Amino acid sequence: MMKSRYLLTLPAVAFGLSLSATNPATAMDKATIAVPGVPPVFSTVFVYVAKEAGFYKKHGVDVRIKPFNSGVAAAKAVATGKVDASLSPTAPVSKIVSNAGIKMVGLMGLEKPDWFIGSMDPSKNKCEDLKGQAVGVDSPHGARWIQLANMARKCKLRPDKHIPTVNLSSNVGSAMVAGRLTFGVLHRDDITVIERESGKKLTIVSEIEKAAPGTHYLLFMTVKKNLAAKRDMYVRMVAANIEAIRYMNNPANVDKVAKIAGVTKRKLMDAKAAVKDFVAYKYWPLDYDGLNAKRLAKTIKIQAIVGKKTKGKAGIKPGKKPVAVNELVDTSVYKDAMKLVK
């Protein structure tokens, strides 16, 4: 059994914030948000802050957050009506929308993917060293699997053809610390934890922003029929997310945010360091919808290329029309949400 990083639990209090609604709803709406990773990946912290610090309630929405093993599983949950919204990586979402014709739509996003391939063995530090070596990912054809494919493309290797993969949800780092794996697809907040717990220096084999620069990371999304039916609720949820990100960007709140981030099972000192790093990296877009059209278009294009090269085993299947950017996202929701938080 893997033992690692994670002792702190999510606090049950909202840290004494006094939040009065600028546009209070006459009745509290209820919504469930699916997030990737068990435990949740650190990028999802902003929705936990929106909940625990009272921003969703301020805007009239009673939110439940439900972790899933991967971003793909979270996307499928919203597509099948099991949840009202999800945080899901853009690449697999664009694939699902294009292949299955499911009308999902992003309302805001995180633009800057931070995935990288890490190695516990400093002598295995090149893309070519991955051949025949097990690499930890989230799930079959999940976000980490897709990014492994993107990063390994430069040395003409493919996951599950040349590179065996191990499905571990968000527990890749724990497996590496335990000595079960040499390689894993990781997020930037994993580095400090892995190095401290293993006593070893983590070697970076490849980074997605160098291997495939200018792609898009994550969407806060729903399906179009939900948006049409309850657009006002989604506008208010996005408004709460905006306020949560503002709160997180205030250095005075770093300790409170780090405590909330305990839901990721990071120890307090690691969560605090990660919050500071993510804010400095501009991971959570401040007063900006995070829906850069060029990044979205490149992500979709890569999925179409992958589909062609793999004959439909991955990516967007040949013969399927890749979803257009303006069909994948709706920027008007964020604009309306900003009117609630001025």
* Span 141-174, pLDDT tens digits: 888 999 999 999 989 999 999 999 999 999 999 9
Kindly state whether residues 186 and 123 are assigned to the same domain.
yes
- State how far the Cα of 302 lies from the Cα of 84, in Å rounded to an integer: 28
pLDDT of 195-205, one tens digit each? 999 999 999 99
* Rounded average pLDDT over 90-98: 96
Kindly state whether residues 243 and 309 are assigned to the same domain.
yes
- Of the residues 211, 244, 262, the one at which a domain ends: 211
User: Token match 């059209």: residue?
Assistant: 293
Residues in the chain: 342
Kindly state whether residues 230 and 322 are assigned to the same domain.
yes
Q: What angle do CA 160, 67, 208 make, to 5 degrees?
A: 45
Tell me the pLDDT band of 342, cut-offs 50, 70 and 90.
Answer: confident
Kindly state whether residues 232 and 333 are assigned to the same domain.
yes
- Of the residues 156, 177, 211, the one at which a domain ends: 211
Question: Domain for residue 133, yes or no?
Answer: yes
Tell me the pLDDT band of 333, cut-offs 50, 70 and 90.
Answer: very high
Instruction: Determine phi and psi for 34, rounding to 5 degrees.
Output: -90, 135
Tell me the pLDDT band of 309, cut-offs 50, 70 and 90.
Answer: confident
* Rounded average pLDDT over 271-284: 94
Question: Domain for residue 17, yes or no?
Answer: no
Domain of 127 in residue numbering reads as 116-211
Kindly state whether residues 249 and 292 are assigned to the same domain.
yes
Question: Domain for residue 314, yes or no?
Answer: yes
Kindly state whether residues 108 and 231 are assigned to the same domain.
yes
Kindly state whether residues 295 and 317 are assigned to the same domain.
yes
Kindly state whether residues 331 and 231 are assigned to the same domain.
yes
Question: Domain for residue 43, yes or no?
Answer: yes
* Rounded average pLDDT over 63-91: 96
Supply the pLDDT for residue 8: 35
Supply the pLDDT for residue 26: 59
CATH code at position 46: 3.40.190.10
Kindly state whether residues 206 and 272 are assigned to the same domain.
no
Kindly state whether residues 205 and 228 are assigned to the same domain.
no
- State how far the Cα of 326 lies from the Cα of 43, in Å rounded to an integer: 24
Question: Domain for residue 4, yes or no?
Answer: no
Q: How far apart are the first and last CA of the chain?
A: 49
Residue that wins the pLDDT comparison between 22 and 86 = 86
Supply the pLDDT for residue 4: 41
Q: Give the three-class secondary structure for 70.
A: coil
Tell me the pTM: 0.87
Kindly state whether residues 257 and 323 are assigned to the same domain.
yes
